[in-house]
A and B are shown apart, each in its own frame.
Chain A
């Protein structure tokens, strides 16, 4: 951030620091660009590389302490990671191109939440998991930063579940939800169904599939230009298998929201 403030006028003026930077390991600054045009990004990288070669950075020590410090918020041990994708579909004909994108995020499911499924004869999805899903992941992040729902913005959150095969720890679930901002300008209502299996040895999810259909309206502060009026959205959720997904925390966890205890 210091590097950005020292070198980029818009950052110094308090505007966004988002964008592409080229820097040296010692903090030397070679360039900044927040334009996504392929031609401009390529030209930007070429210019920065030329500058790097003409003015190489000083040698610095990256200490073991720096290397050991976690780069991101990390989940409790044993946490399972899911991937969620959202789309506006079918896309209304009058919607702008930005609405064609796919929204992405990661979801954490705690081992303690899977253990709770065993407490009763009939499984009951832990409230913390359900509220995490609804508050932080049933959001319109198709055009960028979504509005994440506060507890008082939820008007309906009803989920139920049943074993498909208890011995194999396979269950299915259904849910209905509705939420909106106080003004009513932005909201969502929808249903979700899914099924998953977990291991009682590792308390990790082994397979997860869920699908949600939603009617949305309006937009959050940072994701303007949604389709006009009410528009349809769909969400798909799958278990993550790659290391990259597992290393990048969910957006809400990074923001320090009540991600781990959304029911508190």
Chain B
């Protein structure tokens, strides 16, 4: 066991603290685009729909990190 100088949060306090960090609707707006995460499936779909592929390439996955 460790001794921590923590003012322990109640369940509702914890919930509120966590909620305060979550992205706002504005910050999550890019997720309203129906991004495809499987490149090969997207290539196939691109041909079927006769549309080009828009690739968003980052070192940190745009849908996951950073």
Annotate A183-217 by CB proximity to B: 1 below 8 A, 0 otherwise.
00000000101110000000000000111000000
Asked if B21 lies at the interface with its beta carbon under 8 angstroms from chain A, I say yes
Instruction: Find chain B residues with CB under 8 A from A235 CB.
Output: 21
Which partner residue on chain B sits nearest A161 by CB separation?
B1
Also in contact, A25 and B66, with CB within 8 A (given A102-B27, A160-B4, A209-B14): no
A17-B57, A87-B21 known; A71-B47 Cβ under 8 A:
no
Within 20-76 of A, Cβ neighbours of B (below 8 Å) are at 20-25, 30, 45, 48-49, 52, 56-57, 59-60, 62, 66-67, 69, 71-72
Q: Which residues of B contact A62 (CB under 8 A)?
A: 40, 43-44, 47
CB distance from A80 to the nearest CB of B (A): 16
- Asked if A174 is an interface residue, CB under 8 A from chain B, the answer is yes
A236 touches B (CB below 8 Å): yes
Residue of A nearest to B51 (CB): A52
Interface assignment of A93: CB less than 8 Å from any CB of chain B: no
Q: Which residue of B lies closest to A67 (CB)?
A: B40
Closest Cβ of chain A: how far from B48's Cβ, in Å?
9
Q: Which of B41, B52, B53 has the most CB of A within 10 A?
A: B52
CB < 8 Å A-B pair total: 151
B25 within 8 A of A: no
Nearest CB in chain A: distance from B63 CB, A: 5
CA distance A128 to B38 in the complex (A): 29
Q: How far is the CB of B9 from chain A (nearest CB, A)?
A: 6
Check if B60 sits within 8 Å of A145, measured CB to CB. yes
Scoring A residues 155 to 176 as 1 if CB is less than 8 Å from chain B, else 0, what string do you get? 0001110000000000000111
**Binary interface profile of B, 15-52, with partner A (CB < 8 Å = 1, else 0)?**
10111111100010001000101111101101100101
Beta-carbon nearest neighbor of B9 in chain A: A193
Contact A67 B55 (CB under 8 A): no
Minimum CB–CB distance from A61 to chain B (whole Å) comes to: 9
| Contact call B54/A254, Cβ cutoff below 8 A | no
Given contacts A67-B44, A176-B4, 9 further A-B contacts (CB under 8 A): A20-B57, A23-B52, A25-B43, A60-B43, A62-B47, A158-B2, A209-B15, A210-B18, A211-B18
Nearest 7 A/B pairs, CB to CB: A236-B21, A251-B65, A236-B18, A248-B64, A21-B55, A25-B43, A158-B2
Residues of chain B at the chain A interface (Cβ within 8 Å): 1-2, 4, 6, 8-9, 11, 14-15, 17-23, 27, 31, 35, 37-41, 43-44, 46-47, 50, 52-61, 63-66
List A residues at the B interface (Cβ < 8 Å).
4, 16-25, 30, 45, 48-49, 52, 56-57, 59-60, 62, 66-67, 69, 71-72, 85-87, 89, 101-106, 141, 144-146, 158-160, 174-176, 191, 193-195, 209-211, 222, 234-238, 244-245, 247-251, 254
